[in-house]
Amino acid sequence: MLFKRLRQGVLFSAMTLAAAAPVSAVASENDPWEGYNRAMFSFNETVDKYALKPVAQGYRFVMPDMAEKGVSNFFGNLGDIRSAVNSALQGKGDDALTSVARIVFNSTFGLAGLIDVATPMGLEKHPEGFGQTLAVWGMDSGPYVVLPFLGPSTVRDGIGLVPDWYLTPVTYVDDVPTRNTLYGLALIDARAQLLQAEQIVSGDKYIFVRDAYLQRREYLIHDGNIPVQYDDNDF
């Protein structure tokens, strides 16, 4: 479960899109638990400040760029398994087949996923999760919620973590030290990728992250074709 969230950058992913995401008035309406959420957000920020961020900075400092890219590609390849299954569940046959093809090519010619050979071949990533599948099936997002350690989410996305956890190959690694090492490496890699992105944060960081996260989820659910909502006064 943690692996999946980290690969999506859920812990701090909103930062990467905030530069292009205007503040949404609707977002505040989806946040009835703001008191709790702000407290949990502060807790997560403290954990990041004293644990995750320093480790990620050290990781980026000592890791050669090529090696760091290889680690990211490896976990991205594993994430394509989740995307393939959820694309199929959403009725997106072409996207599901593309994800399967990515897995095959990257796992073989890409040396177990360390090299992304699929993207240059025109096989683009189609990130999907069960939270998105539930949205396609008609389930409302529910309130915005900040999860301990995992960061921004919604009730629907939180429920989606459970089946996605079973679609994470690392979950089935029998050797506990190896499994925990992979989880830890995924965490560090995901955090390291966001070191530069967090510089774009401005104003109230809680609102900044919340609004960008919710807009990002809408973007993914609608595959970039977000429906325009008109106010009654527009007519």
Q: How far apart are CA 27 and CA 208, in angstroms?
A: 10
Paired residues of 145 in beta bridges: 153
pLDDT higher than threshold 60 for residue 143 = yes
The range of the structural domain enclosing residue 151 comes to 2-226
pLDDT for 26 equals 60
Q: Is there a domain that residue 60 lies in?
A: yes
pLDDT at 157 over 70: yes
- Whether residue 141 lies inside any domain: the answer is yes
Is residue 189 pLDDT above 60, yes or no? yes
Determine the angle formed by the axes of helices 53-62 and 176-192, rounding to 10 degrees: 90
15 near 203, Cβ under 8 Å? no
What's the number of domains the chain is made of?
A: 1
Residue 133 located in a structural domain: yes
- Distant-in-sequence, close-in-space partners of 169: CB < 8 Å, separation ≥ 6: 78, 81
Encode burial over 26-59: b for 16+ CB neighbours within 10 A, e otherwise: ebeebbeebeebbebbeebbeebeeebbeebeeb
In a domain, 235, yes or no: no
pTM: 0.85
Size of the chain in residues: 235
CA of residue 139 relative to chain centroid, distance: 20
How much is the pLDDT for 231?
56
Is residue 234 domain-resident? no
Decide if 113 is inside a domain: yes
Q: 32, 8, 35: which is closest to 141 by C-alpha? A: 32
Is residue 157 a part of any domain in this protein?
yes
Distance between CA atoms of 46 and 227, rounded to whole angstroms? 37
Amino acid at the residue 149? F
pLDDT of residue 234: 53
Q: What is the pLDDT of residues 3-37, one digit of tens each?
A: 445 444 444 444 444 444 454 556 677 999 999 99
Which carries the bigger pLDDT value, residue 197 or residue 68?
A: 68
Q: What angle do CA 30, 33, 39 make, to 5 degrees?
A: 125
Asked whether residue 233 is assigned to any structural domain, the reply reads: no
